[in-house]
A and B are shown apart, each in its own frame.
Chain A
Amino acid sequence: MMESAPALALEEVSKRFGRFAAVDRLSLQIEPGHLAGFLGPNGAGKSTTLYMIPRLVRPTNGRIRIFGVDIWKDFKRAIRSVGITVEAPAFYEYLSGRKNLELAARLLDHVSPREIDEILERIGLAERQHDRVRVYSTGMKQRLDVGRALLGRPRFLILDEPTNGMDPEGTQEILSFLREKVRNDGLTIFISSHLMSEIEEFCDTVFVIHRGHLVVSGSVKELLKPHERIVRVTFQGRIPDGDFISRHQQIRKAEPVTADTVEITLAQDDSAWLNQCLHQAGFRVSALAPKQKTLKEFFLSITGDKPHV
Chain B
Amino acid sequence: MSSPLLTLLRNEVAKAARRKLPYFGILAAGLGCVITYFVAGRLSNAAATNAWGYVAFSMQVVFADIGPIFVVVFAALLLAEETSAGTIRAALAAPVHRWELYLAKAVAGLLYMMVFSAAALLFSAALAKLHYHFGAVGDSLGVVYSRNHLMQQFLLGYALSWIPLAALVMYGLLISTLVRSPGAAVAVGISTLYLIDFTKPLLGLDPYIFTRYIDYSWLNLAQIAQGMDYQWCPEVWKMVKLSGVSAVVAFVTGLVVFVRQDLNH
Contact = CB atoms under 8 A, between A and B. Distances in A.
Contacts of B1: 106, 108-110
B262 A87 contact: no
Contacts of A54: 89, 92-93
A75 interface: yes
Interface in B224-257: none
B264 A57 contact: yes
Contacts of A57: 262-264
Interface stretch (B3-11, B41-49, B195-203): B3-11
Given A88-B86, A92-B87, A51 B95 contact: no
B130 interface: no
A95 interface: yes
- The residue in B8, B18, B86, B90 that gathers the most chain A C-beta atoms within 10 A of its C-beta is B90
Nearest to B101: A107
Contacts of B91: 107
Given A58-B260, A107-B8, A95 B18 contact: yes
B144 interface: no
B264 A56 contact: yes
Contact of B90 (A55, A77, A104): A104
A302 B7 CA distance: 47
- The residue in A47, A55, A92, A104 that gathers the most chain B C-beta atoms within 10 A of its C-beta is A92
A56 B87 CA distance: 12
Contacts, number: 80
Given A90-B87, A92-B87, A94-B19, A107 B4 contact: yes
B70 to A, nearest CB: 19
A99 B10 CA distance: 13
Given A90-B87, A90-B90, A107 B96 contact: yes
A103 B38 CA distance: 44
Nearest to A79: B95
A213 B182 CA distance: 36
Interface in A66-99: 75-77, 79-80, 82, 84, 86-88, 90-95, 99
Interface in B78-110: 85-87, 89-97
Given A56-B263, A92-B15, A86 B85 contact: no
B95 A48 contact: no
Contact of B93 (A86, A95, A106): A86
- What class of interface size applies to chain A in its complex with B? 20 to 34
A148 interface: yes
B22 to A, nearest CB: 12
Given A57-B262, A58-B262, A110-B1, A94 B90 contact: no
A105 to B, nearest CB: 10
A47 B18 CA distance: 32
B143 interface: no
- The residue in B7, B18, B260, B262 that gathers the most chain A C-beta atoms within 10 A of its C-beta is B262
Interface in A91-128: 91-95, 99, 103-104, 106-110
Nearest to B8: A107
A190 to B, nearest CB: 13
B14 interface: yes
B87 A108 contact: no
A103 B11 contact: yes
A28 B171 CA distance: 42
Contact of B7 (A93, A95, A106): A106
A94 B21 CA distance: 13
Contacts of B262: 51, 56-58
Contacts of A80: 95
Contacts of A86: 86, 89-90, 93
Contacts of A94: 18-19
B7 to A, nearest CB: 5
A107 B6 CA distance: 10
B252 to A, nearest CB: 19
A91 B10 CA distance: 17
Contacts of B85: 90, 92-93
B18 A56 contact: no
Contacts of A56: 89, 92-93, 262-264
Contacts of B10: 106
Interface in B92-143: 92-97
Interface of B: 1, 4, 7-8, 10-11, 14-15, 18-19, 85-87, 89-97, 260, 262-264
21 contacts: A47-B264, A51-B89, A56-B92, A57-B263, A75-B97, A84-B90, A86-B86, A86-B89, A90-B85, A91-B90, A92-B85, A94-B19, A103-B11, A103-B15, A104-B90, A107-B4, A107-B11, A107-B91, A108-B1, A108-B94, A109-B1
